[in-house]
Amino acid sequence: PRRAALILGTQLLERHPALDDDDIDELLLVESAELFDRLPYHQHKIVLVLSAMRHYVERRRDEGRTVRHVPHTDGRSFSEGVAHLIREHGITGLAWMRASDRGVDRRIDRIAARAGVQTKRWADVAFLTPEVELDAWFRDHPRARMEDFYRWQRQRTGILMEGDSPAGGRWNYDADNREPLPKTGIRIPELPRIEPDAITRQVIEEVRERFPDHPGDARDFWLPVTHDDARAWLRAFVDERLGDFGRFEDAMAADEPFLFHSVLTPALNLGLLTPHDVVDAVLEASGDVPLPSLEGFLRQVIGWREYMRGMYRAHPELEGANALGLTRELEPWWYSGEGIPDDLPIPVRTVLERVLQHGYAHHIERLMVLGNWFLLEGYAPASVNRWFLSLFVDAYPWVMVPNVFGMSQFADGGMVGTKPYVSGGAYLQRMGRWWPSQQAAKESAFTEGYWDFLQRHEAVLEGNPRLALPLAQMRSRRAPER
Ligand code: FAD
């Protein structure tokens, strides 16, 4: 018998379970252009996945392993690629690590059944929380809030704990973490610069040739594609930016796309880094980092990221939810950047241009600029989801679905977040100084859209305690017109 492990492009773990399993004779990696044809994926995302896969192949071969690799240039679909390798190499057993996205395991099962090979699955080890424990917690907590999950996670892992108590006496330092950038005197360290090597250069050429109409310019590719580069990227973040991460977590700047964010998801979501790597690196530096930054950052990684995965697994109905009944489709210029309307508010235009350039925007821009605008304009959550999934270098269904349908678009009616994340221009101005004056911010389409939004959805939002004040303000603005 010949037993092979199929390693998916999002599972490029240095400690993939296949590598410790003596039953495995060879590794299979299958690139498929067909997968990237399904949506207009950003060119950087395609380069990232393909280049990271090829580096993985090379690394494992250097270790002396047998690796079978189907390049996308063969023109095979994923299924055809796997079936081809099974036939060609007389494989009788196929093992893989359970996929984070729904539907993938079933698809591989079908390929294996058609090929008549035995199967085995390893648990998904790309997260901190074992699947069984995660699912059990969400079963026991049907109205699961992130804060409850996070406390459980801290206690379960002992991270930032002093015995049974949270380090420093508080679970959450959010209140300390809401500063805008000061007008002057703040230096924002640059992200590490990575020179593309021969493999990446080759992939860039292939992507330009095969996906010329996809958004972005492959030649500007900027992300780590190996474990070593990803670790160096993590180290640079911990050394240079983590200390200020907390304070400026919610800040925005018209001329600065990354601020003090880590930009770790491109590597994390492919397995080039694990959350364990991130937690270890951060805790090692903990002596030099203010507690609000330390806690604020670790909450994102051990809290939000794992909580979103749990929500995705526990609530398949999130995908496709549309509590506000929104129907507008995103226009083509959201993908192409061509013909962006002149009256698009400046924060949205700026962030959109950044996304088209880098395939990235930081969290508060995703939530309070893009997501906010999509809600105010009445775009359908499925259309919004499709856009994020296509344009962002770190987007995969397990993390997109709860973030877009849940946190950002309130399509779940308030499971992930307790209220829709909408705001007028004043908030955006306070956190990002987008407009030349406070007055311009107040008069922007955000402010008008905000009041309209509350009015349009009054019936659904009524009774939400966090919206009692805004709804009352909305009614008193409306009153004189009656
Ligand atoms: P940092 O700000 O440095 O945060 C550190 C880490 O915390 C991140 O690397 C990430 O692993 C984790 N994290 C923080 N917030 C979240 C969250 N809400 N959900 C999951 N993990 C989180 N994240 C993705 O990984 N892929 C996506 O496609 C994605 N789409 C999003 C879409 C919307 C509308 C919103 C509101 C959020 C989305 N997020 C997504 C969550 C979050 O915005 C990104 O994880 C984060 O911006 C990635 O940049 P960073 O690595 O610089 O994060």
pTM of the model: 0.97
27-31, 120-124, 284-288, 354-358: the lowest-pLDDT one: 284-288
C-alpha 309 – ligand 1 centre gap (Å): 12
Ligand 1 neighbours by CB, cut-off 6 Å: 261-265, 268-269, 300-301, 304-305, 308, 362-363, 366-367, 371, 388, 392, 394-395, 399-400, 403-404, 407-408
Q: Which atom of ligand 1 is nearest to the CA of 297?
A: 5
Confidence of residue 481 (pLDDT cuts 50, 70, 90): low
Question: Atom 50, ligand 1: which residue's CA is nearest?
Answer: 263
- Nearest protein Cα to ligand 1, atom 20: 305
Burial class of residue 119 (count of CB atoms within 10 Å of its CB; 0-12, 13-18, 19+): middle
**Cα 227 from Cα 232, distance rounded (Å):** 9
pLDDT tens, 275-318? Answer: 999 999 999 998 889 999 999 999 999 999 999 999 999 999 99
Q: Which atom of ligand 1 is nearest to the CA of 396?
A: 28
User: What is the C-alpha to C-alpha distance for residues 66 and 55, in angstroms, rounded to an integer?
Assistant: 15
Interval 33-61: pLDDT, tens: 999 999 999 999 999 999 999 999 999 99
> How far apart, in whole angstroms, are the C-alpha atoms of residue 419 and residue 128?
28
For ligand 1, mutation pick of 42, 233, 265, 274 (most atoms within 8 Å of CB): 265
Residue 340, burial from CB neighbour count under 10 angstroms (0-12, 13-18, 19+): middle
DSSP, collapsed to helix, strand or coil, labels residue 26 as: strand
Q: Would the pLDDT of 482 be above 70? A: no
The DSSP line for 313-368 is HH-GGGTT--TT---BPPPTHHHH-TT--TTS-HHHHHHHHHHHHHS---HHIIII
- How far apart are the CA of 305 and the centre of ligand 1, in A? 7
pLDDT at position 202, please? 98
Q: Whose CA is nearest to atom 14 of ligand 1?
A: 300
CA of residue 261 to ligand 1 center, whole Å: 10
Q: Look at residues 478, 464, 370, 350 and name the one whose alpha carbon lies nearest to residue 423.
A: 370
- Name the average pLDDT for the chain: 96
Give the pLDDT confidence score for residue 95 in this predicted structure.
Answer: 98
Taking CA atoms only, the protein residue closest to ligand 1 atom 39 is 403
Q: Which residues contact 135 (CB under 8 A, 6 or more apart)?
A: 310, 313, 314
Does residue 480 have a pLDDT over 90? no
- The Cα-based distances of 78 to 10, 161, 204, 231, 398 in angstroms read 14, 45, 21, 30, 20
Q: Which of 275, 240, 278 is nearest to 260 (CA)?
A: 240
